[in-house]
Amino acid sequence: MVYIIISVVLLLIIAPIIAVLPSARQKQQMSMRRDALALGINVELTSILDPIPKQEKYLSSTGMQLEPSLSVTAYRMARKMSQSWRKIPTVNWAIERRVSNRDPYLPDTWSWEKKKPEDISGELVDFIVAEIISLPDDVVRVDEINRIISVYWHERSDADGVQQIAKFLDGCARRPQVKVDIGFEDKSSDGNERP
């Protein structure tokens, strides 16, 4: 009887310790995040609005519509700017994975959140169209807001997903963000050339 009581007490002590140890999946995610940080990518746990909001999982038990919030991990890289960064306007854009593609220019199920910005660089758009299919299948959104490029994903892919995302972020950051007119930097706001 004494041995049974000792066993139960040990189980009550050891069980909570084992419960807080990370699982194999959590260890893999931590490893991927460390790899991303080593490549100069910021990693942040965040939530976004689900691109497919009308799903059964967003209904309460009473049938009320819940906020379609999706918990994801954001891998971010800031765009490197030249000395004249204040003169160049910013172009915010977002591409989401949806059930059906509304934009024939983008591959598969990707579409612009609202519409493709008019001032976005053609070189950047061509890169995005060519490379977005190389991103892991569990990436749900890609955007650039205030010169920070973000890829939102569930991290269900293997470690190669970090390399694919790093390549995509770096490629986007190396391309010009906006269409730049020739002589843009040499002209003042009144159209006259600067001395």
Mean of pLDDT over the chain: 77
The tokens for 106 are 């983008």
pTM of the complete model:
0.72
34-85 confidence digits (pLDDT tens) = 888 888 888 988 888 776 666 666 667 777 777 777 788 889 988 877 665 5
Other CB atoms within a 10 A radius of the CB of residue 22 amount to 10
Helix (H, G, I), strand (E, B), or coil: what is residue 72?
strand
CA distance 16 to 94: 43
CA distance 126 to 79: 18
Residue 194 confidence class, pLDDT cut points 50, 70, 90? very low
The tokens for 180 are 């730049």
Residue 188 confidence class, pLDDT cut points 50, 70, 90? very low
